[in-house]
Chains A and B, each alone.
Chain A
Amino acid sequence: MSAVVSPVRRPLIEGNKTYHQITEDLCSPTERTPSRAWVIAFIIAVATMAYGFFCIGWTIWMGTGSWNLNRTIGWGYDITNFVWWIGIGHAGTLISAILMLFRQRWRTGVNRAAEAMTIFAVICAAIFPLIHVGRIWVVFYFFPYPNVRGPLWPNFNSPLLWDVFAISTYFSVSLLFWYTGLVPDFATVRNRATGLRKKIYNFLSFGWTGSAKHWSRWESLSLVLAGLSTPLVLSVHTIVSFDFATSVIPGWHTTIFPPYFVAGAIFSGFAMVLTLMLITRKILKLEEYITLEHIESMNKVILVTGTIVGVAYLTELFIAWYSGYVYEQFAFFNRAMGVYWWSYFGMMACNVISPQIFWVKKFRRSVLVTFIMSIFVNIGMWFERFVIIATTLARDYLPSSWSYYYPTWVEIGIFIGTIGLFFTLYMIFYKSGSGSSYCRSKIYIKIGWQSIC
């Protein structure tokens, strides 16, 4: 079969692949012995993760006092990291669900990895609310279950409880969606495997045979789950933003938070997807599946969401001035000019100013620029959460209680540890699952190619 590239539309998969080549290319990571680079990277990731768990253990054993939070600033690295990871966890579902509903077919190259990333990011995120509490051994009080204490129910008015529901729902639906997508691909791996591997993959693929009925049910399930996930993409970070928006603290108490948080989440999620994809693409040589088209499309999303976030920042400032409310005015003045000015300007530079270079097509299509930008955005979004949480708490109503916060080695260790956990999970997944959807790649193989035979 020979083919030429369509003059009208860039192909989604380059290199004029055959079905077999796709199977070979995409299954190969699961079938090869891990490379030395992978092993080294994996060891680093696991070591980092282990250190993180050590720090978590330290926190639980020694007490929350091993963190530098204080009577004024009750949340610092913990909730900053929680919101940051949750934000990162947004891209997967967005790409899978919303882009699926919008029939953005370019998503196939990245959706699987993005979904996996979602799951892992949510796992990383969920660690923080769990360990930030003073008494982790009674954390089950959060859950509404019939109990002998009255029964005593949780407080359904509390945004923290909404968080519990929002995140667990999001996690379970994302997990289902992700796994559903994996089933036919596991079957593909199974078909090529032998021995124990075959048995494992057979189990994982639920005995997928590839019959028309399977495909038909699989398609409709994917669509149903996509439908379910779509509102979740918007709701999760909306509810996370309620943690702040429903409070009375100036700087938190703002109605703009839900859309602002969702845009920020998508923004950071896409950045993280790009960071990961660019590495994966390079290491696993998937340039033909994750093409510059993908990168460019995602950069466009980054540009748009980054700008939305920027507008939100400016709106906040405007409203603070316009409200005439001294506390709010001071809160925002303090963000920019107070003790944490560096995090505010870090946020502004990384989130609002730097993404503007993506107006230029050359930069959108540059792997290097994209990679650097994706890191920038990740940093910027981390700063954003830090600005919102620490800066606001450090300077609230009563000047007598103002304080300052910086993390201890334990808090930093836990943060780094979650990054280790994330990469550990991601690397395991890439070696055992499928980074790209084989079947969808096969479906879209023709797109952009014109057969000349």
Chain B
Amino acid sequence: MKVVVALKRVIDYNVKIRVKSDGTGVETANVKMSMNPFDEIALEEAVRLKEAGIVSEVIAVTLGTQACQDVLRTALAVGADRVVLIETDVELQPLAVATCLKAFVQKEQPRLVLLGKQAIDDDANQTGQMLAALLGWAQATNAFKLEIAGDHATVTREIDGGLETLEASLPVIVTADLRLNTPRYATLPNIMKAKKKTIESLSPADLGVDPSPRLKTLLVSDPPVRKPGIVVNSVTELVEKLRNEARVI
């Protein structure tokens, strides 16, 4: 059984982002880029399924410019068997990504698609659910635990206030939450080996998809700044302030 893992290249989670002064977006020049952390977890889960003998091939796919090759090299280094870049310069929005992935999935015929629950740049949390809808597949978002036995997947999801367990027949879309696993680091020998491997390339046109954006970003701005607070010297002063100044207790 094949598994497809969709990856996104984003500004590294350790970078403190800067909004561009002209309000068109966030500064990405000379900024460290990495694989979206939730996608790393999705990829790790796929590799573990292969190591457990449940999955025969792990195919990692990403969409974007040539620069996205670096996350595919990382994917090869941690255990993806094949990697594919759906190359485009167009600004990609989740629906366009899901539409491209739908065509890609129909071509590759996996029984399972893993994605991160959201990307840490646009925080949209949409692509997995939309892909499931377009394919007419079951979806299990925010996965905390994934078990595959025969033709069935049992997924425990993170929900408000606890956990929920769903069961679905394959094929299924699963999006990874934080606690699904702890991703491994790529080892140096594997990183070196990954450099020699092939990156397959496709375009949205090859998949019959028009990826043009359907939403227009008018302005990106800094969030409002809180007014500076004060340092209190004792618990007594804190209680006094909360009672008489803030009036919240």
- Report whether chain A binds chain B: no
Binding site for A on B (CB under 8 A): none
Chain A interface residues (CB < 8 Å from chain B) = none
